[in-house]
Amino acid sequence: MTWIIIAILGHAANGFAFIIDKILLNNAFKRSATYAGLVGLLSALALVLIPWVTAWPLGGDLLLAILSGLTFMAALWTFFAALSRGEASRVIPIISALIPIMTLIGTSLFLAERLSFYELLGFFMLITATVILAGGKAQNRLTLNALLLSLLSAFLFAVSSVSGKAVYDSVGFLGGFTTTRIVAALTSIMLVMLVDPLAGEEIKDIVKSMTAGRQKKRSGQLMSMATAGKLAIVGQTLGGLGFIAIQYAISLGSASIVNALQVMQFALLVIAAFILKNKAQTLLGESLNRSVIIIKGLALVIMAIGLSLIV
């Protein structure tokens, strides 16, 4: 079960990146799509792996690799689109719960994956903990548009995971990963240039502010673009390492369980909120009161039990 440890470490790294994301989206970036663009553009770093690739996907495997990269970027885009149209406390639990469930359906149908009774029990306990930890007090009902985008995002993330797993099984991790990341980077360039040029402008502002060392804050921001840019680099470095670990874990083991282990990200966010206490609302957008602490604490217990069942 080495792949479970790798997945947990990957999600832990993503958890710290998620905390930085929350800080930046609450205090610096005006457009959440900017982060989707950054993730995709940084995928181009996979080019450095080319000299070590011994087997490349061809034919049907290449089509699956292209599908995985395309759907990954489309999933990110629709995820942020859903967030812009609905409250995070409603959108995130829906997407986070559906990704592993849809992935399990996909791997069961197309990759003949079968989980034992205890693995299934632990799987659904992790999903339950994810919904509780990711949720919050919502002020408004979810619109149909936001709901449909949430469902589409979860479906696309699942398709990316299942098709990626198929490629890894066929040609190995390195060739499959490098190909899907190159596709994701190319897709990101097209999306930033054609679909949301304003996100591209914000990325340019970040780069200019960092190179010039400017500390000027834009309207409505609590930190300068230079500071935000440096923090974004730290977050994306952690996120990149986490993503590689998660994809490697998928190549070694169960894609559905690896996706269910994303509960670690929300657990770290809650723990960070506990530590920050009074600053949690300002920095993370997380409020803590007695009832929230009890509910989130119970979710952490459910998560621990779920982990014990699949390890």
- State the average pLDDT over residues 43-48: 88
Looking at per-residue pLDDT, the higher value among 56 and 80 belongs to 56
pLDDT at residue 259, rounded to an integer:
96
DSSP 215: -
Considering only CA atoms, which of 207, 198, 204, 239 is closest in space to residue 226? 207
Choice among 130-139, 156-165, 298-307 with the minimum mean pLDDT: 130-139
Neighbours of 173 (CB within 10 A): 18
pLDDT at residue 81, rounded to an integer:
81
Looking at per-residue pLDDT, the higher value among 20 and 220 belongs to 20
pLDDT at residue 49, rounded to an integer:
92
On whether the CB atoms of residues 188 and 40 are closer than 8 A, the answer is yes
pLDDT-based confidence at residue 269 (cuts at 50, 70, 90):
confident
Q: Which residue has the tokens 């470095």?
A: 237
Looking at per-residue pLDDT, the higher value among 231 and 166 belongs to 166
21 lies in some domain: yes
**Sign of the torsion angle spanned by Cα atoms 268, 229, 88, 243:** negative
pLDDT at residue 221, rounded to an integer:
52
On whether the CB atoms of residues 65 and 179 are closer than 8 A, the answer is yes
154 lies in some domain: yes
Distance CA 64, CA 13 (A): 27
254 lies in some domain: yes
On whether the CB atoms of residues 241 and 218 are closer than 8 A, the answer is no
Choice among 40-49, 166-175, 222-231, 287-296 with the minimum mean pLDDT: 222-231
pLDDT at residue 50, rounded to an integer:
93
Domain count, the chain: 1
Between the alpha carbon of residue 80 and those of residues 36, 55, 144, 189, 301, the distances in Å are: 8, 34, 16, 17, 30
Assigned token pair, 97: 């719960």
Distance CA 295, CA 308 (A): 20
Choice among 33-42, 113-122, 206-215 with the minimum mean pLDDT: 206-215
160 lies in some domain: yes
pLDDT at residue 26, rounded to an integer:
60
Q: Tell me: pLDDT of 181 over 90.
A: yes
285 lies in some domain: no
271 lies in some domain: no
pLDDT-based confidence at residue 237 (cuts at 50, 70, 90):
confident
Looking at per-residue pLDDT, the higher value among 158 and 289 belongs to 158
Looking at per-residue pLDDT, the higher value among 83 and 187 belongs to 187
pLDDT at residue 124, rounded to an integer:
96
Looking at per-residue pLDDT, the higher value among 40 and 180 belongs to 180
pLDDT at residue 19, rounded to an integer:
75
pLDDT at residue 90, rounded to an integer:
79
pLDDT at residue 84, rounded to an integer:
74
pLDDT at residue 66, rounded to an integer:
98
pLDDT at residue 9, rounded to an integer:
94
43 lies in some domain: yes
pLDDT at residue 265, rounded to an integer:
85
Query: Domain limits at 148?
Result: 2-118+141-261
164 lies in some domain: yes
Distance CA 286, CA 270 (A): 8
